[in-house]
Amino acid sequence: MKILFLGDIVGKSGCKVVENHLFEIIEKDRINFVIANGENSADQGVGITKEIVNFLISKGVDVITTGNHVWDQKETLSFIEDEERLLRPENLISPSPGKGFNIYNKDNLRIGVLNLMGNVFMKKCNDVFEASTSFLKK
């Protein structure tokens, strides 16, 4: 199995690179599953919108992760609960809408994706190491 993880897709230019190259990379390298960090993909370079989520999925991204900019586009609060392919950090301060973990089925494979956010110089989330240990115990 080959998993491709794309770091921050930033603004229009980052989305354009995905549009122009992702399908080619998936085919050439026989990628089975694509995870992309999309928290900065909105036109302004911060946050993500429903339109961009749909765009990235249509271009070959299977799951979109986020981080400290997840709520920078206020509309995200209204659709993240229903969008299974958009993950917020699991270790955000509770309660937070959406999911930080999900299992996806693709090509007869089950792939679990856990989204955790580091917290050096950030107080928006619980300790990443404690959160991951707690999650694994569940």
Residue 4 is inside which H or E element, if any? strand 3-6
Q: Is 21 a catalytic residue?
A: no
Between CA 28 and CA 52 the distance in angstroms is 25
DSSP 84-98: TTEE--TTBSSS-SS
Residue from 48, 61, 67, 69 carrying the catalytic annotation: 69
Beta bridge partners of 112: 103
Point out the residues that are catalytic: 69
